[in-house]
Structure 1
Amino acid sequence: MFRVSLVHRQIFKEHISIFCLAMFSLVFLIVIGKVLQLRELFLGLDVGILEMLKLFGFLIPAVLLMIIPIATMLSVFLTFLRMSSDRELVALKASGVSLYQLLPAPVVFASLCTLLTLWVSMFGISWGMDNFRTSVLELAQTRAKVVLQPGVFNKSIPNLMIYSRSSSLATGELEHVLVQDTSRDSGGVTIVAPTGKIISDTKMGEIRFVLNNGKLYRQDNNEISVLGFNRYTVRLALSQLVKGVHLGKLRPSGMSYPQLQAIKNDPSLAESQSFIRKTDVEIPKRWAMPFACLVLGLFAMPLACAFEGMRQQMGVVMALGNFLVYYSLLSISMKSGEGGSGISPSISLWIPNILFAGLAIAGLYFTAKERTINLTSMITHVMFLRRKDKGGGTCRS
Structure 2
Amino acid sequence: MDRYIASELIPPFLFGIGLFSSIGVAIGSLFEIMRTAVEVGLPISLVLQVLLLSLPQYMAYAFPTSVLLSTLLTYSRFSSDSELVALRSCGVSVYRIVLPAILLSLIITCITFGFNEYVVPAANYQAKVTLDKALNKEQPLFRDRNILYQEYGKVERPDGSKEKVLKRLFYAERFDGQQMKGLTILDRSQNQLNQVVTAQAGQWNPIENTWELFDGTIYEISADASYRTILRFQHQKLQLPRTPLDLANDKRDYNEMNIAQSIERLEIERDSGDDQKVLKLRIRIQQKIALPFACLIFGLVGSTLGNRPQRTSRATGFGISVVMIFGYYFFTAVGDALGLTSSVPPIVAAWLPNLVGLGSGIFLLFKVTR
TM tier relative to shorter chain: 0.5 to 0.7
Equivalent position SS for 2:91:
coil
C-alpha separation between the residues in 2 aligned to 1:270 and 1:105? 48
Tell me if structure 2 keeps the 8 A contact 1:114–1:290.
yes
Q: CA deviation at 1:127?
A: 0.8
Alpha-carbon distance change, 319 to 311 in structure 1, aligned in 2, over 3 angstroms = same
CA 1:110–1:315: 2 relative to 1, 3 Å: same
- Distance change in 2, residues 1:14/1:204 (3 Å): farther
Partner residue, 2:105: 110
Distance in 1, matches of 2:53 and 2:140, equals 19
Q: Distance in 2 between matches of 1:65 and 1:335?
A: 23
> Could you tell me which residue of structure 1 aligns to residue 314 of structure 2?
312
Matched, 1:29 2:23: yes
1:13 aligns with 2:7: yes
Q: Read off the aligned partner of 2:58 and give its amino acid letter.
A: V
Which residue is equivalent to 1:165? none
Deviations 1:194-250 (A, max 9, x none): xxxxx73244499x9x9xxxxxxxxxxxxxxxxxxxxxxxxxxxxxxxxxxxxx953
Q: Which residue is 1:154 aligned to? A: none
Matched, 1:345 2:346: yes
Q: Determine the structure 2 residue equivalent to 1:201.
A: 140
Compared CA separation, residues 271 and 55, structure 1 to 2 (3 A): farther
Question: Is the 1:295–1:356 contact (alpha carbons within 8 Å) kept by the matching residues of 2?
Answer: yes
Question: Match for residue 289 of structure 2?
Answer: 287
Matched, 1:333 2:327: no
Deviations 1:31-60 (A, max 9, x none): 222221222322244332332222112112
8 A Cα contact 2:75 2:303, kept in partner: yes
How do 1:82-161 residues align onto structure 2 when only pairs under 5 Å count?
82-141=77-136
Partners of 2:106 and 2:144 in 1: CA distance: 38
Runs of 4+, deviation exceeding 3 Å:
202-206, 268-275
- Pairwise CA distance, 1:346: 1.1
Deviations 1:81-126 (A, max 9, x none): 1101111100111122222222332122101210121113322221
Range with bigger deviation, 95-104 or 280-289: 95-104
**1:362 to partner: Cα distance:** 2.5
**Shift in Å at residue 330 of structure 1?**
1.1
Q: Write the distance in 1 (CA, Å) between the matches of 2:358 and 2:334.
A: 19
Between structure 1 and structure 2, the one with the greater Rg is 1
Over 3 Å counting, the alpha-carbon distance change for 1:21 and 1:335 in structure 2 is same
**Aligned-partner residue type, residue 29 of structure 1:** I
Q: What 5-or-longer segments of structure 1 have no aligned partner?
A: 1-6, 145-198, 211-247, 370-397
Residues 268-307 of structure 1, C-alpha deviations (whole Å, 9 max, x = no match): 5779655433311111101111001001111112212337
Could you tell me which residue of structure 2 aligns to residue 61 of structure 1?
56
Distance 1:329 1:48 in 2: 40
Task: Say what the alpha-carbon RMSD is for the aligned residues.
Answer: 2.7
Structure 1 counterpart of 2:114, one-letter code: W
Q: Secondary structure at the match of 2:278?
A: helix
Q: Give distance in 2, aligned partners of 1:41 and 1:270.
A: 37
SS in 2 for 1:97: coil
Which amino acid is 1:53 matched to?
A: L
- Secondary structure class of the residue paired with 1:343: coil
Does the 8 Å CA contact 1:253/1:282 hold for their aligned counterparts?
A: no
Secondary structure in 2 aligned to 1:294?
helix
Tell me if structure 2 keeps the 8 A contact 1:85–1:308: yes
Aligned with 2:139: secondary structure? strand
The Cα of 1:310 is off from its aligned counterpart by 1.9
Which consecutive residues of structure 2, in runs of 5 or more, have no partner in the other structure? 146-173, 177-249
For 1:88 and 1:205, locate their aligned partners in 2 and report how far apart those are by CA, in whole Å: 64
Indicate how the Cα distance of structure 1 residues 252 and 205 shifts in structure 2: closer, same or farther if over 3 A, else same.
Answer: farther
Distance in 2, matches of 1:360 and 1:96, equals 23
Residue of structure 2 equivalent to 1:50? 45
Identity of aligned residues (%): 21
C-alpha change, 1:10 and 1:47, in structure 2 (3 Å) is: farther
